[in-house]
Amino acid sequence: MSALLELQAVDHIYPDGSTGLRDCTLTLQRGRRYALLGPNGAGKTTVLQHLNGLLQPTAGTLCYDGQPFDYHRKGLTALRSRVGLVFQNPDRQLFSALVEEDVSFGPLNLGLPADEVRARVAAALDAVGLLGHARRAVHQLSFGQKKRVCIAGVLAMEPEVLLLDEPMAGLDAPMQTELTALLDRLAARGVTILLSTHDIDFALRWADDIHVMAAGRCIASGPAQQLAAQTAVLQAAGQRPPAALALHAELVALGVLPEGQVPRSIDALLDSLRALKNSREITA
């Protein structure tokens, strides 16, 4: 099976001469959850904008389903209806006064009939849990709600791939939990998701696979748990080892926890410790 989306040796030089990407290669397989991990300025946003056809590579190729991107108007329309991109700042991507109007922007641009647009808007708002807010004014919403309207605006185009730029930025803990649950629901429906983040703990906790970016290149890719253990790679990308892994390693070294099952989050680690405590109490 060929990859769903691919960057092959992509370079990108911005008009001002600065380098955005440099020999960047990465692939996305259908139906998986990806984290694009790296510090600010590593080129994460540039990768996302390439995948959606907003930027064209200076050198190298992008492919969708094995076919190179077609940058003509029709090709771009088809691409963007399949690959949706949610930007970081909601205030830069919501333009309409009312929630439902904003969500209808994409489907209307696809040229769909009014009934279809209406149905899609309702479905998208339902998916993000804002169906009751369809007629609210955008500026009355909280930051977290605005973020979900942005996602709905892309979902209404029914993309196969959802790209999100730093979706957790600015969200507090309850809102993050809520958004994670939403992303999980979408993934369960078969949507391929790629989100950028500079939080390695979150990447390990949430993603199936991680692509690590540093200085405009994808320097490593692989299953989250495997990749998060590669200290050298992480260091090259300016990342500390994930807290859960570091703690687990120490506890294994101390003989508290058995080797083998590596936790994906502090919560998972806490669960193992609690399980251990319970089993001891039962034994005692």
What amino acid occupies position 123? A
Q: Is 51 exposed, middle or buried (0-12, 13-18, 19+ CB in 10 A)?
A: buried
Q: Which of 54, 114, 181, 270 binds its own copies (CB under 8 A)?
A: 270
From the list its own copies, other proteins, none, which binds 97 (C-beta under 5 to 8 Å, kind-based)?
Answer: other proteins
Closer residue to its own copies, CB minimum distance, 46 or 239: 239
Instruction: Write out the E strands in 65-203.
Output: 67-68, 83-86, 161-165, 192-197
Binding string, 97-136, against its own copies, x = CB under 8 A?
----------------------------------------
Pick from 253, 258, 259, 261: which binds its own copies (CB under 8 A)?
253
101/250 Cα distance (integer angstroms): 53
Give the footprint of other proteins on this chain (CB under 8 A). Answer: 49, 52, 54, 73, 76-77, 80-81, 84-85, 87, 89, 91-98, 100-102, 104-106, 108-110, 114, 117-118, 121, 135, 137-140, 153-154, 157
Q: How far apart are CA 191 and CA 185, in angstroms?
A: 9
161-180 positions binding its own copies, by CB under 8 A: 169-175
Closest approach of Cβ 12 to its own copies, in Å?
Answer: 18
Do 18 and 69 touch, CB atoms closer than 8 A? Answer: no
Binding status of residue 200 toward its own copies by CB under 8 A: yes
Contacts of 85 (CB under 8 A, 6+ apart): 48, 49, 51, 52, 54, 154, 163, 164, 165
Could you give the count of Cα atoms lying within 13 Å of 103 in the half-sphere of its Cβ?
34
Burial of 83 (0-12, 13-18, 19+ CB in 10 A): buried
Among 31, 41, 75, 222, interactor with its own copies by CB under 8 A:
41
14 binds its own copies (CB under 8 A): no
- Residue placing its CB nearer to other proteins in the complex, 60 or 105: 105
